């Protein structure tokens, strides 16, 4: 199939040029105008992003920039060498926000951005280097500790911010700072024999994918080559072959994702960028292989990734714990960035299937409904009697943390979200995610504009109206979500089915000559459902989870008074019901299930006991031989096994996972025992 790239580039992230070896390109223009994501983005625009400058001031990030700019006295404030990235991620978020069409005045935001951009510029050194940790003397020896120093990681986020700032505002100031730093890095790092002093890489990837975007923004080939150089250095022992540093094996040889989840996925986003720019088969194969290894064996139901608190890393295949799921919010964001790049590279729907799941669950849970606090860790279970004895942030939302990587990361993804929803390939338009808005693609070098109107994910009906179209036929592609068992595509409301629709590996494709104003309606069946896991996922054996559409649901203690959640079982015999709860959690649709509050075994001093033939438990207090002759008979109580299966019937209220932990910090469960 001949490549027909669109003639005009996107105004969002991942701005592929016509030379890209992509299957799909981001749309030329995208807006979200109402509905679910519009509401979340408005909270981000009105509460999340505006509080940034004050929080960055209070946390010392701006002080550190003034300090190295010579504009203030004192010493570095904070504990981490990567604190500059909080500023850069906020600048990126604010820049994407400034590009939005909105009725809200944004003058104050624009002024904050330009003030902080000027501060960043003033902090940069003559030779282009910029890192307040090392410039302030808090850290010693520029580039002396690339395992922990995070200088290139910081540079990467500076570059991302600069690209966003330039794309959104057309202004050059921050882009100039980024280019000077990038040129400095290019002159400092390079292969042996290149005359450049350092043949190594930053143990925390980010600069790689940023350099590809800088190449796309500036047309400068050197930046692409430098990105490729850094990606290729991984796995050759510069960091003692540590998986944590993404150095255990070269990326093209890796069989699965491993090590620090955010580092792995930022590196893979860069690999997908490079594969898209160069079309290198080995790199494409590695990206496809590693995404599949992640999705099939190392991703939680919520789309969250990263099984271990310890080292923040991926676990073994199918090692997917619930209460100790780390699932850092930043890792969900990294997974979305990697997945979107893979969707563009391959054109396959499955990548956007996982992006959708991650957006609505593992990612969105990271921000409170009011936009004022965040979760760093996103577990799938908080146990009755959970005590945060170690400050592991597993169930408490915090306003801004010592290591505040997540909040501005959430802000920048929400700020640019419209650009992750649709794509074009020069022959039509593909809707990857469903949100009310307007998307402009291209066919036959002519604009295609469609508007979408939907109450998704609460309702399954999606109206797509062709606003602008060439006369010649083009293909509208609608993703049929992987979770969807039944759907219908019709001409207009309750009209006849669209006969020409063809399902093609997750894409429902309609090729036809469209007329302006023509409307098709996709109805996705939203029946709530129970899901189970591969038997190798030991953590959820004997459990089911509740989903509706793209939303994973969970039980929260607050909705189930009278006992703990760990006593609750779900009754598969009771059909799931849906209940609209406009008053709850800002307005959600809950799933109501049947269940029981089971009687727990008498608490003796030992929680393990002999199995009967069926593997059911005896009451704990009957274990110790009570009879003087020690006869085993004396230890069994008739009917005890049956009793252990019974319990008090209970109505279970399952709320969307993204909305959990907005009503205090009680227990929570995604996976529910069936008995």
Q: What DSSP line would sit under 175-240, residue for residue?
A: HHHHHHHHHHHHHHB--TTSS-SB----SS--HHHHHHHHHHHH--HHHHHHHHHHHHHTTSSTTT
The sign of the torsion formed by the CA atoms of 608, 610, 615, 621 equals negative
Position among 321, 347, 371, 595 found at the interface with a copy of itself (CB under 8 A): 321
Query: CB of 254: closest distance to a copy of itself in angstroms?
Result: 11
- Restricting to residues 255-274, name those near a copy of itself by CB under 8 A: 258-259
Q: Is 616 in the site for a copy of itself (CB under 8 A)?
A: yes
- Closest to a copy of itself by CB, 615 or 639: 615
- Closest to a copy of itself by CB, 377 or 421: 377
Place of tokens 């189970």: 532
Spatial separation of the C-alpha atoms in residues 457 and 364, rounded to whole Å = 13
The sign of the torsion formed by the CA atoms of 486, 489, 490, 492 equals positive
What is the four-CA torsion angle of 583, 586, 591, 592, rounded to 10 degrees? -30
- Closest to a copy of itself by CB, 607 or 638: 607
Rg (CA), the chain: 26
- Closest to a copy of itself by CB, 190 or 339: 339
Q: Is 310 in the site for a copy of itself (CB under 8 A)?
A: yes
Position among 121, 620, 640, 643 found at the interface with a copy of itself (CB under 8 A): 620
Nearest to 40 by CA among 354, 331, 368: 368
Q: Is 389 in the site for a copy of itself (CB under 8 A)?
A: yes
Nearest to 595 by CA among 618, 632, 563: 563
The sign of the torsion formed by the CA atoms of 525, 530, 535, 540 equals positive
Q: Is 157 in the site for a copy of itself (CB under 8 A)?
A: no
- Restricting to residues 463-482, name those near a copy of itself by CB under 8 A: 480, 482
Position among 274, 405, 544, 593 found at the interface with a copy of itself (CB under 8 A): 544
Q: Is 635 in the site for a copy of itself (CB under 8 A)?
A: yes
Q: What is the DSSP letter of 650?
A: E
CB under 8 Å to 479, separation ≥6 — which residues? 349, 352, 353, 430, 431, 432, 433, 506, 507, 508
Position among 150, 215, 239, 324 found at the interface with a copy of itself (CB under 8 A): 324
Q: Is 243 in the site for a copy of itself (CB under 8 A)?
A: yes
Contact of 305 with 293, CB cutoff 8 Å: no
- Closest to a copy of itself by CB, 105 or 573: 573
What is the four-CA torsion angle of 370, 376, 377, 380, rounded to 10 degrees? 20
Q: Is 309 in the site for a copy of itself (CB under 8 A)?
A: yes
Q: Is 630 in the site for a copy of itself (CB under 8 A)?
A: yes
Give the three-class secondary structure for 524: strand
Query: CB of 673: closest distance to a copy of itself in angstroms?
Result: 6
Q: Is 295 in the site for a copy of itself (CB under 8 A)?
A: yes
Q: Is 545 in the site for a copy of itself (CB under 8 A)?
A: yes
Query: CB of 196: closest distance to a copy of itself in angstroms?
Result: 30
Q: Is 550 in the site for a copy of itself (CB under 8 A)?
A: no
Contact of 595 with 654, CB cutoff 8 Å: no
- Restricting to residues 579-608, name those near a copy of itself by CB under 8 A: 598, 600-601, 603-608
The count of C-alpha atoms lying within 13 angstroms of the C-alpha of 525, restricted to the half-sphere facing its C-beta, is 9
Count of C-beta atoms within a 10 Å radius of residue 490: 16
Position among 212, 261, 623, 652 found at the interface with a copy of itself (CB under 8 A): 623
Q: Is 296 in the site for a copy of itself (CB under 8 A)?
A: yes
- Closest to a copy of itself by CB, 126 or 505: 505
- Restricting to residues 347-376, name those near a copy of itself by CB under 8 A: 350, 353-354
Using CB under 8 A, count the residues that bind a copy of itself.
100
- Closest to a copy of itself by CB, 150 or 324: 324
Count of C-beta atoms within a 10 Å radius of residue 180: 18
Position among 317, 473, 586, 594 found at the interface with a copy of itself (CB under 8 A): 317
- Closest to a copy of itself by CB, 45 or 568: 568
List 577's β-bridge partners, or say none: 592
Q: Is 402 in the site for a copy of itself (CB under 8 A)?
A: no
Spatial separation of the C-alpha atoms in residues 203 and 310, rounded to whole Å = 17
- Closest to a copy of itself by CB, 101 or 389: 389
Given its phi and psi angles, is residue 161 left (phi above 0), alpha (psi -120 to 50 degrees) or beta? alpha
Q: Is 617 in the site for a copy of itself (CB under 8 A)?
A: yes
Query: CB of 613: closest distance to a copy of itself in angstroms?
Result: 6
Q: Is 644 in the site for a copy of itself (CB under 8 A)?
A: yes
Nearest to 91 by CA among 203, 7, 175: 175
Spatial separation of the C-alpha atoms in residues 447 and 516, rounded to whole Å = 12
From 60-68, 175-183, 346-354, 463-471, span contacting a copy of itself (CB under 8 A): 346-354
Q: Is 572 in the site for a copy of itself (CB under 8 A)?
A: yes
- Restricting to residues 472-531, name those near a copy of itself by CB under 8 A: 480, 482, 484-488, 501-503, 505-506, 525, 529-531
Q: Is 611 in the site for a copy of itself (CB under 8 A)?
A: yes
């Amino acid at each position: 199939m001949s490549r027909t790239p669109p003639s005009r580039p996107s105004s969002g992230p991942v701005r592929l040029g016509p030379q890209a070896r992509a299957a799909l390109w981001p749309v030329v223009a995208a807006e979200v105008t109402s509905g679910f994501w519009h509401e979340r983005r408005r909270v981000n625009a009105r509460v999340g992003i505006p509080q940034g400058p004050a929080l960055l001031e209070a946390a010392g990030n701006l002080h550190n920039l003034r300090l190295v700019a010579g504009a203030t006295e004192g010493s570095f404030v904070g504990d981490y060498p990567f604190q500059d990235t909080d500023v850069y991620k906020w600048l990126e978020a604010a820049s994407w926000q400034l590009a939005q069409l909105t009725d809200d005045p944004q003058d104050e935001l624009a002024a904050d951005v330009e003030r902080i951009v000027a501060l960043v510029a003033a902090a940069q050194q003559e030779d282009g280097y910029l890192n307040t940790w090392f410039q302030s003397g808090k850290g010693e020896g520029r580039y002396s500790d690339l395992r922990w120093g995070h200088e290139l990681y910081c540079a990467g986020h500076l570059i991302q911010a600069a690209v966003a700032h330039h794309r959104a505002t057309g202004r050059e100031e921050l882009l100039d700072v980024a280019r000077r730093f990038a040129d400095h890095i290019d002159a400092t790092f390079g292969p042996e024999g290149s005359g450049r002093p350092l043949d190594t890489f930053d143990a925390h990837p980010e600069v790689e994918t940023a350099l590809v975007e800088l190449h796309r923004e500036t047309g400068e080939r050197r930046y692409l080559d430098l990105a490729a150089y850094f990606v290729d250095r991984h796995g050759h022992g510069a960091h003692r072959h540590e998986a944590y540093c993404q150095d255990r094996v070269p990326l093209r040889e890796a069989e699965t994702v491993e090590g620090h989840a955010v580092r792995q996925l930022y590196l893979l986003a860069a690999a997908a960028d490079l594969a898209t720019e160069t079309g290198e088969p080995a790199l494409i194969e590695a990206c496809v292989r590693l995404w599949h290894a992640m999705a099939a064996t190392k991703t939680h139901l919520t789309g969250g990734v990263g099984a271990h608190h310890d080292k923040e890393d991926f676990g073994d295949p199918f090692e997917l714990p619930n209460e100790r799921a780390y699932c850092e919010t930043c890792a969900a964001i990294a997974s979305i960035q990697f997945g979107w790049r893979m969707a563009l590279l391959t054109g396959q729907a499955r990548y956007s299937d996982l992006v959708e799941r991650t957006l609505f669950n593992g990612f969105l849970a990271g921000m409170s409904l009011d936009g004022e606090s965040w979760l760093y860790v996103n577990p799938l279970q908080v146990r009755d009697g959970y005590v945060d004895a170690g400050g592991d942030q597993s169930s408490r939302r915090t306003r801004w943390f010592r290591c505040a990587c997540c909040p501005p990361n959430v802000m920048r993804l929400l700020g640019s979200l419209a650009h992750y929803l649709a794509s074009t390939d020069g022959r039509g338009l593909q809707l990857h995610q469903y949100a009310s808005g307007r998307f402009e693609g291209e066919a036959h070098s002519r604009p295609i504009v469609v508007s979408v109107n939907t109450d998704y994910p609460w309702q399954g009906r999606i109206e797509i109206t062709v606003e602008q179209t060439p006369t010649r036929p083009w293909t509208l592609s609608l993703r049929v979500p992987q979770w969807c068992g039944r759907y219908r595509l019709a001409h207009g409301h309750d009209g006849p089915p669209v006969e020409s629709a063809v399902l093609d590996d997750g894409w429902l494709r309609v090729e036809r000559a469209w007329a302006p104003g023509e409307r098709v309606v996709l109805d996705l069946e939203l029946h709530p459902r129970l899901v189970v896991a591969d038997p190798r996922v030991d953590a959820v054996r004997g459990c089911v989870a509740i989903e509706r559409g793209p939303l994973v649901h969970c039980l929260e203690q607050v909705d189930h008074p009278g006992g703990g959640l760990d006593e609750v079982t779900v009754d598969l015999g009771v059909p799931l019901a849906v209940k609209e709860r406009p008053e709850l959690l800002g307005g959600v649709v809950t799933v109501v299930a049947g269940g029981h509050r089971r009687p727990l075994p008498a608490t003796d001093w030992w929680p393990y006991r002999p199995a009967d033939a069926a593997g059911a438990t005896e009451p704990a207090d009957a274990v110790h031989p009570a009879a003087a002759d020690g006869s085993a008979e004396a230890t069994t109580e008739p009917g005890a096994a049956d009793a252990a299966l019974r319990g008090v019937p209970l109505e279970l209220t399952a709320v969307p996972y993204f909305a959990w932990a907005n009503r205090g910090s009680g227990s929570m469960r995604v996976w529910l025992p069936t008995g």
